[in-house]
Structure 1
């Protein structure tokens, strides 16, 4: 790709501030070329957005001069803002839009993780024992030439057993693995994905009403919230009991297991029941899930959506998902919120804007999950017997996390 990116002046303004010019470097047939001067650009990034995408447009006349009309779906593509690599992926679609007054070309690009989202997971075996979340995720992603990077050790979690469903996509496999390890996973600029805890970076500056915020919407909601989340044993006796008050109290007393999480912000009685699961030793995962239900629902009840006048903080760093940023309201109150989703948009007519969705960090915490293998009594018995009856289940040898030979 040497020579694809030209002089630094292509990316930097005269005042040495980072440029916000969107460009792509496209590789096709071993040749790389840079295309700039788009008349419109929309980039969508997020913790819960996979793949990251870009839609870039220009007039047909300009596109012909820049060679855009020779782009083909499947070309490898890197998307830059100034000199900052935003994501690496592929040209997915090229749209030629001819109207009575204009002729536009739009190029739609998706990050490499599009193959994780759309394609089935490939594995030589669908049952793994005594292995590691990060190792399995890397093995799944490697089939589409994607690596999984751990941020501060996230995902380096040993698990007893894990089963892959034959029809699952690679994304679905990694999503279940991430829940087992209680981590997030999302795109990285180089085309790989990372496993990370919530809020591992902090923006140098944030968003201020009356400053860099053009529009802001705040929400306070009781939608989907419960005064109590209570764990119960699943028992069919409830189907045969008359629902009078005394019987109900007695019945609930017998079914509850002493796990309850409360939301003091809900003013009236609203109950949510969650079941305990077979294989959950001491109901540890159930306890975590009850508190997660409360915390996540509170977090999602207070989203902030805003439009900023810049794609960068005051130090010139791009806004990025999973970044903590202070939001200062019109009355001066300040709250640290997590950037969950970004839409970076720019047109010749309307200039540059960043649409940002932020919530309390708890809103993005992964749901605690009991390994499905441990819920299945047949597999529990089979796995237990494997120590005595060798090779009763085929397993795959995964490479060590440090990359050394076994």
Structure 2
């Protein structure tokens, strides 16, 4: 296994560290990292909001800022814990200051670019529906103004190594090789819960114009994975159309089921069998008969860790690909790991 070299640079200068943990998620807008800094100079090694980058063996992993600096010492030694946050944090923490707060005839990507007033940057990998008018509520962040429509259209919002927002509606790649019990899996555990599993998800909404049944009493229903009757009714956010309601119901059923069904697998090293760094929202084949999994899974989140001795591990949190908008993996896993299928929701007028 090749020793990885993690470089944490602040204001263009590398800071030596004794341990590092890099966290990334397809379901979070901002990646973070934590470092124990080996500092022997005067004062503190850096300050909050200093510009920072992280590379792993030369490949850019994160672009952002120092978030927290925690110095400490006893009579003989001192410690400095420093955290990193992606530049996408400004999209989740700062209000939109826009001349009009209004955008017409725009899809989600258009809206993101229009209200990205801080220049975070946007990468659009999802096809979304246009809306006639989008208006920012006073005080909203960029993430908040996007999140409602993103949820309605089955779109994930995460960040890129450059710190830009990424809008995606399905897994973005596939890792080489597989995760195999007895071969490269060091540790594995699972969490299966019925708390977020429902037999059906109904989404009900109204249109702003008209008094017909389609305008006032529209509903879409998607099947879930619960084996007993457990209905969930969700009010639709925004202007209801048959297409929007059906997409929202299908996405909600998949996400709800996926929330309660995850497995965590720890492997040595930071890379797949093809040499690619592990990435959130990428597919990987998993074959672990003790967990009952034999199918493609999607990496929902991950942590890359390195200690002072140079030991490197990746802890991957995985879900059925359908839970993040992917296709049916058609494996041989126990049915308890499955998310709802990709069949379209049913639409009806009340």
Instruction: Please state which band the TM-score falls in when normalised by the shorter chain.
Output: 0.7 to 0.9
Residue 98 of structure 1 and its aligned partner are, at CA, apart by 0.7
Aligned counterparts, 1:3-402, within 5 A: 19-27=3-11, 32-36=12-16, 38-61=17-40, 64=41, 69-100=44-75, 102-141=77-116, 143-151=117-125, 154-155=126-127, 157-179=129-151, 181-230=153-202, 259-263=220-224, 265-275=225-235, 279-281=239-241, 283-330=242-289, 334-348=294-308, 351-365=311-325
Q: How many angstroms does 1:307 deviate by?
A: 1.6
Higher normalized helix content (fraction of residues): 1
Taking the aligned partners of 1:258 and 1:58, their CA distance within structure 2 comes to 55
> Deviation string for 1:289-309 (max 9, x for gaps)?
333333223333321112222
Moved more, 154-163 or 84-93: 154-163
Change (3 A) 1:197 1:217: same
Aligned residues: 316
Q: Note the alpha carbon deviations across 1:256-282, whole angstroms, 9 max, x for none.
A: 97744333x43322222345788423x
SS at match of 2:177: coil
Distance 1:215 1:190, change over 3 A: same
Contact 2:20-2:33 within 8 A present in 1 as well: yes
Distance across 2 between alignment mates of 1:350 and 1:83: 16
Does the 8 Å CA contact 1:94/1:106 hold for their aligned counterparts?
yes
Change (3 A) 1:226 1:209: same
CA contact (8 A) 1:18 1:316 kept: no
Calculate the TM-score normalised by the size of structure 2: 0.80
Question: Closer, same or farther in 2 for the Cα pair 1:197/1:230, shift >3 Å?
Answer: closer
Give me the whole-angstrom Cα distance separating, in 2, the residues matched to 1:231 and 1:134.
24
Q: TM-score, normalised by structure 1?
A: 0.70
Task: Structure 1 unaligned segments of length 5 or more: list them.
Answer: 1-16, 235-254, 367-406
With over 3 angstroms needed to count, the CA separation of the structure-2 counterparts of 1:229 and 1:70, relative to structure 1, is closer
SS in 2 for 1:60: coil
Distance 1:322 1:182 in 2: 14
